[in-house]
């Protein structure tokens, strides 16, 4: 199945790595630091250095060759300033998308923001992190316009609460609510381990339906 998880040391990515390892799925964790590679290796997790900020498209192509799927779980979260947001959340994403396409990746999974539509830029929630929302908007548009089969996951307000494995998913909810990072990872797991779940775009909140059933039953086409 050969999955590359970029941002494997992040809040959502680390949970996804744990779930993939627990279920013996073939994957590689993409991280930015040598010590992170070594630490994951000590835990019997395959890991590789990948930095969407510093790596060129050509370097990313070489690192992505041979992978069937790429999960992009990288982001500043709007907390690092507009310049870094543009560098990582926009250009980093665009480079990863272009590299995946040229490397022959079959499926690209984007962990986006809650609402990346242009009309969301000036909503009360998005206004606080407008550069981040704008960056995610254009990254998502670039992905939709690429030649890649793709899935875009829009999490609610991320928390570090233990995930129940139960979620609510929809194309658009009326209001943003909490979602545990672990529950977002459960959704990503269902996306990368079931081909029937590819090509969807959905918002995710903590909810009452097992992630496997919720993602399988959702159809935004």
For residue 27, the number of C-alpha atoms closer than 13 Å in the C-beta half-sphere is 29
Confidence of residue 82 (pLDDT cuts 50, 70, 90): confident
Give the separation between CA 166 and CA 29, rounded to whole angstroms: 25
pLDDT in tens, 201-218: 999 999 999 999 999 999
For the record, the structure tokens of 146 come out as 């690429």
Give the separation between CA 102 and CA 162, rounded to whole angstroms: 38
Which residues does the annotation mark as catalytic?
132
Asked whether the predicted pLDDT for residue 221 surpasses 60, the reply is no
pLDDT in tens, 110-151: 999 999 999 888 887 777 788 899 999 999 999 999 999 999
Q: Which residues contact 24 (CB under 8 A, 6 or more apart)?
A: none
Give the separation between CA 72 and CA 196, rounded to whole angstroms: 19
Please tell me the predicted confidence (pLDDT) of residue 63: 97
Q: Tell me what the mean pLDDT of segment 94-121 comes to.
A: 96
Across all residues in the chain, what is the average pLDDT?
94
């Amino acid at each position: 199945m050969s999955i590359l998880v970029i941002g494997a040391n992040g809040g959502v990515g680390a949970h996804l790595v744990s779930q993939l390892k627990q279920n013996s799925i073939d994957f590689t964790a993409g991280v930015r630091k040598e010590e992170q590679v070594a630490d994951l290796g000590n835990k019997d997790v395959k890991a590789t250095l990948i930095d969407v900020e510093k790596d060129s498209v050509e370097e990313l192509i070489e690192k992505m060759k041979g992978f069937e799927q790429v999960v992009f779980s990288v982001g500043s979260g709007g907390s690092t300033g507009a310049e870094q947001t543009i560098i990582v959340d926009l250009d980093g994403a665009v480079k990863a998308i272009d590299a995946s396409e040229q490397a022959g990746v079959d499926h690209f999974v984007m962990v986006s923001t809650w609402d990346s539509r242009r009309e969301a830029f000036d909503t009360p929630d998005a206004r606080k992190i407008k550069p981040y929302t704008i960056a995610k908007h254009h990254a998502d548009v670039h992905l939709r316009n690429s030649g890649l089969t793709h899935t875009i996951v829009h999490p609610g307000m991320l928390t570090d609460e233990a995930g129940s494995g139960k979620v609510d998913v929809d194309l658009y909810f009326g209001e943003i609510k909490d979602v545990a990072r672990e529950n977002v990872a459960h959704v990503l797991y269902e996306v990368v381990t079931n081909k029937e779940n590819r090509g969807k775009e959905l918002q995710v909140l903590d909810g009452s339906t097992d992630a496997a059933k919720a993602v399988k039953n959702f159809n935004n086409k």
